[in-house]
Amino acid sequence: MKIKLLLFLFFIFEASANYRVGSGSVYNFASQDVQNTELSIYITDSSFTNLGIEYFFSTKSELLPFSMWQQFQMILEPGKPLHLVDGYLQTSEMKKPQIMPKEMLNINQGGVQLSDFLFAAEAELNPYLIGEENIEIPAGSIKAKHYRKTRDKQTVDFWISELALPIGLVKLESKGEKPDHNYVIELKNLAENIKKKIDPIDATALDEEGKKFLQKMNFK
C-alpha cells in the first residue's frame, strides 16, 4: 500500500481569518488501494503570528489498520502568504512525534504540488475556476466553487465553499497515470473541539523507524 502524505490539502481563504482551535473537517478518503478510510484536518494553534494544522489519517481495514498524524506550523505575516516552518509526524506505532526534516516540507514529487494550494487566497485560484455547482457529498447537498488544476499528467478537480470553513474543501478528485494520483476526498462533516495528538515540545528527531515509514508511504 502506498499513500502520498497529504501535504497539499489546505484550502483556507484568508490568512487574517479567526481560526478556532479544535475546529476542522472530517472527510471520507477512497483510492484504488485504500478504502474505509477517514481523514480529519483541524486547527491546533491560532494567534496573530502563527497557525497550526493537524491531519489524522485512519483506515479501519481488518487486514491493515493504520493511523497517522501530521502537524504543520506556519507563520502569519500581514499581506504575505502563510509560511510553512515546521512539520511533525506520528503513527500509532510511535511513542513520540518525530520532526520532519525541512527538505521534506518542500519536496517536489511531480504532479500537483503543495505550493499550488497552500492557503491560497480565492483571487489566486480564480484562473482555475470552472464554475459554481451544487454537489452531493456525504455531508449533504452544498453549493461550491469548482476548480481544476493539471500538471504532469495529473488532474485535480476540487470544490471549495465558505460554508465549509475553516478548511473550505468539500470535495477533491485526483486522476492521473500514476496509481497514487487517483483518489477521491469528500466532506463527511464539520467538527469542533478536536484535541490535537502532536505536541511539538515532545517531538524527537526523525529516527530509522520514521524514515522507513516515510519510504513505505512513498514519500522520499
What pLDDT is recorded for position 215? 74
What pLDDT is recorded for position 63? 57
What pLDDT is recorded for position 171? 92
All structural domains of the chain:
24-216 (2.40.360)
What pLDDT is recorded for position 219? 53
What pLDDT is recorded for position 98? 95
What pLDDT is recorded for position 49? 83
Place of cell 506520528: 90
What pLDDT is recorded for position 79? 63
Sequential DSSP letters for 108-167: --SSS-HHHHTT--HHHHGGGEEEEEEEEETTEEEEEEEEEEEETTEEEEEEE-GGGTTT
Distance CA 46, CA 31 (A): 32
Q: Contact 153/167 with Cβ under 8 angstroms?
A: no
Per-residue pLDDT of the chain (220 residues; tens, 9 = 90+): 444 544 444 444 444 456 889 999 999 988 777 666 888 999 999 887 888 989 998 887 655 667 889 998 888 776 666 677 899 999 988 999 999 887 776 654 445 554 455 456 667 778 889 999 999 999 999 999 999 988 778 888 989 888 888 888 899 898 888 777 788 889 999 999 999 999 999 999 999 988 888 777 655 4
Burial 75-104 (b: 16+ CB within 10 A, else e): ebeeeeebebebbbbbbeebeebbbbeeeb
Q: Contact 162/145 with Cβ under 8 angstroms?
A: no
Distance CA 186, CA 156 (A): 13
Distance CA 86, CA 65 (A): 27
Taking the model in full, what pTM does it have?
Answer: 0.84
Instruction: Tell me which DSSP letter residue 33 carries.
Output: S
Q: How far is C-alpha 203 from the geometric centre of its chain's CA atoms?
A: 20
Pick the closest to residue 105 from 82, 127, 124 (CA basis).
Answer: 82
Distance CA 91, CA 69 (A): 6
* CA dihedral over 84, 25, 174, 178, signed as positive or negative: positive
